[in-house]
């Protein structure tokens, strides 16, 4: 899994299509009052582009209300599929039921530098805000990234990946 990035920890721009934004928001609403989680696949650059959103099962069954964990086998499977398409895992997403879309202490303890963390705040079953963050392990703090929602994937990356990564 590629983890190196010259922009690690510094604020930037995350771009994704309306369709992919809607997928992660719908996942957060369905999972409420528990946390949802998933993987973001795309390309890094001046703008990190999310090509596809991959919902995952939250493995933290006993504490799903305020914790999440993605099965390592699922991350490895997606990483390999993404690499075959010239893509990579650029980050992860999860929801904060009845809490703001701000990283928690637990998020900071478990964050990997160079990855994006998208947090969806969900209150009473409806998303209230979506924010993107990267973790700077030198400064030991998160930096917020701007999110650009584009009308169509074609505007972001051309023809897009095959169904092997997108699962469609």
Set 20, 34, 35, 127: catalytic member: 35
**Peptide linkage before 14 cis (omega within 30 of 0):** no
Cα pseudo-dihedral 10, 11, 15, 19, rounded to 10: 100
Beta bridge partners of 32: none
35 flagged as catalytic: yes
CA distances to 12, 80, 130 from 164, rounded to whole Å, are 28, 10, 27
SS3 147: strand
Residues carrying an active site annotation: 35
């Amino acid at each position: 899994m590629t983890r190196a990035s010259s922009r690690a920890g510094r604020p930037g721009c995350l771009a994704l299509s309306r369709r992919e934004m809607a997928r992660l928001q719908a996942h957060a609403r369905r999972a409420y009052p528990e946390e949802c989680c998933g993987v973001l696949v795309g390309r890094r650059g001046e703008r990190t582009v999310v090509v596809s959103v991959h919902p995952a099962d939250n493995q933290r069954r006993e504490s799903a209300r305020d914790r999440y964990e993605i099965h390592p086998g699922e991350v490895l499977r997606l990483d390999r599929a993404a690499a075959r398409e010239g893509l990579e895992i650029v980050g992860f997403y999860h929801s904060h039921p009845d809490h703001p879309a701000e990283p928690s202490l637990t998020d900071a303890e478990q964050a990997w530098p160079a990855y994006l963390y998208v947090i969806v705040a969900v209150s009473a079953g409806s998303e209230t805000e979506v924010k993107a963050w990267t973790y700077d392990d030198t400064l030991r703090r998160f930096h917020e990234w701007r999110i650009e929602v584009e009308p169509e994937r074609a505007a972001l990356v051309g023809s897009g990946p095959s169904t092997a990564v997108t699962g469609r």
